[in-house]
Amino acid sequence: MSGGRGTGPAALRDKAAALDATDPLRHCRDLYVPADGLVAYLDGNSLGRPLRATAQRITNLVAHDWGTRLIRSWDEQWMDLPLRLGDRIGEVCLGAAAGQTVVGDSTTVMLYKLLRAAVAAAGPERPEIVVDTENFPTDRYVAQGIADETGARLVWVEPDPAKGVTPDLVEAALTERTGVVLLSHVAYKSAWIADLPEITRRLHDAGALVLWDLCHSVGVVPSDLDEHDVDLAVGCTYKFLGGGPGAPAFGYVAARHHERLRQPIQGWMGHAEPFVMGPDYRPGAGMRGFISGTPPVLGMVGIEDTVDLIESVGLDAVRDKAARLGRFVIESVDELLAGHGVRVTSPLVDEQRGGHVTLAHPRFREVYRELWAQDVVPDFREPDGIRLGLSPLSTSYAEVAEALVRIEALLSAG
């Protein structure tokens, strides 16, 4: 029995099969390491699946680059890897010309470094940092910490539940004392896509700098950083970029700021001449100066492979499938789950929604636990949200349908 407007599980599964059959990215699914026993994986926006190529390359890296070439691999390939891979992410996913993106550190640490740099560059006359209350916790906590240590003041923007963080809301928070605005391109809970071009334009008009958090957009929603004159950005690589658990972040700093911005964690790897090991720190030119310590090589393999795959199919095709998967969720909820009182808390319009859809229902905490027990794996978000991550390269319509059918059955079973 269906709890919605009449479309039952069988019809939904048929519809998903038809969509999978004509999906232009369907061949990509076979490129991933098979996940035996997993019925549906809908958490690729927390931890993306590994490509078979990545599994093979990591095995080879341990045996050859690490195990045999050993320290020589630093000379042969690893010293410039953070910059080379940064450039690839920039080229394929960010619309960023070479020399502005670097890979390294955790997202939290990279965010700290770039926000410290931006706050210092904004100067004491502009001590206000604008953040939104629905930004990812690390963004809020890092900003709080930096405010405490630098004397900056946080100015909070409350997103509109029906529109997310709009240009008008941001503009209302701007003053002559605004130094830096820290926002997420795609909201981690709701999937609202912020209007990055318009927000960036307005805050520039007010004399502020922007630091965009691209964690939930990179690899699934284009950001075109150069075109929109973005100042700084950070992002995560273990979601849509396939870097694996705890893979390093990336940081972007527009070339026009390189001379002016200095990050605070002065390590030997960011030195202009790392192996001279001289008495004083002198930051390397461009993005080298934004490196601190030795970069985690094993975590970079999957990023490289996933960026290659995104390039081969085109980021627009990935974006398009994310929108279609989301629309499929929304239509299916309407047909199958609305009668149970399930609400869609993500934007209904494709152009406003990133690579996930969040549904809400008072019983979702227990439903979520049951789903996991059935090897159907979405995410839970406080207080009552089930977040369906839609990774266009690895997620099938059939997986999405199966998750929704199971949710319906669990709600029906009461």
Distance (Å, rounded) from C-alpha 99 to C-alpha 263?
16
Write down the residue that tokens 């502005």 correspond to.
100
CA–CA separation, 166 vs 162, rounded Å? 10
**Which stretch, 34-42, 85-93, 175-183, 344-352, contacts a copy of itself (CB under 8 A)?**
34-42
Between 3 and 299, whose beta carbon lies closer to a copy of itself? 299
Residue 209 to residue 27: CA distance in whole angstroms:
41
Determine if 30 is a binding residue for a copy of itself (CB under 8 A): no
Radius of gyration of the chain (CA): 22
Stretch that binds a copy of itself, among 43-51, 316-324, 361-369, 403-411 (CB under 8 A): 43-51
Residue choice 17, 38, 285, 349 for contact with a copy of itself (CB under 8 A): 38
> Does residue 368 belong to the site contacting a copy of itself (CB under 8 A)?
no
Using CB under 8 A as the binding criterion, the count of chain residues that bind a copy of itself stands at: 81
Which residue matches tokens 């929704």? 404
Please name the residue that has the structure tokens 């266009």: 392
Binding mask 63-102 for a copy of itself (x = CB under 8 A): x-xxxx-xxxxx---x------------------------
Write the DSSP assignment of 302-320 as a string of letters: HHHHHHHHHHHH-HHHHHH
Q: Which of 293, 314, 341, 362 binds a copy of itself (CB under 8 A)?
A: 293
**Residue in 276, 285, 348, 349 binding a copy of itself, rule: CB under 8 A:** 276
Query: In angstroms, what is the minimal distance from the CB of 25 to a copy of itself?
Result: 19
Characterise 241 by phi-psi region: left (phi > 0), alpha (psi -120 to 50), beta (else): alpha
Q: Do the Cβ atoms of 86 and 280 come closer than 8 Å? A: no
Residue 299 one-letter amino acid: G
In 6-164, the DSSP E strands lie at: 40-41, 101-103, 128-132, 153-157
Q: Give catalytic status of residue 136 as yes or no.
A: yes
Instruction: Return the range that interacts with a copy of itself (CB under 8 A); candidates 42-50, 90-98, 123-131, 351-359.
Output: 42-50
Q: Is 369 a catalytic residue?
A: no
Our finding on whether 279 is near a copy of itself (CB under 8 A) is: yes
Residues 299-318 touching a copy of itself, rule: CB under 8 A, are: 299
Q: Is 266 in the site for a copy of itself (CB under 8 A)?
A: yes
**CA end-to-end span of the chain, whole Å?**
13
Among residues 144, 182, 181, 184, the alpha carbon closest in space to that of 164 is found at 184
Of residues 97 and 265, the one with the C-beta less far from a copy of itself: 265
Q: Which of 238, 222, 182, 284 is nearest to 46 (CA)?
A: 238
Query: Any residues with CB less than 8 A from the CB of 61 and at least 6 apart, and which?
Result: 297, 298, 301
By CB under 8 A, name the one of 55, 97, 155, 317 that touches a copy of itself: 55
Shortest Cβ 152–a copy of itself spacing (Å): 14
| Contact with a copy of itself (CB under 8 A) among 18, 24, 133, 369 | 133
**Residue of 87, 132, 139, 213 marked active site:** 213
Residues with catalytic function? 136, 213, 238-239, 387
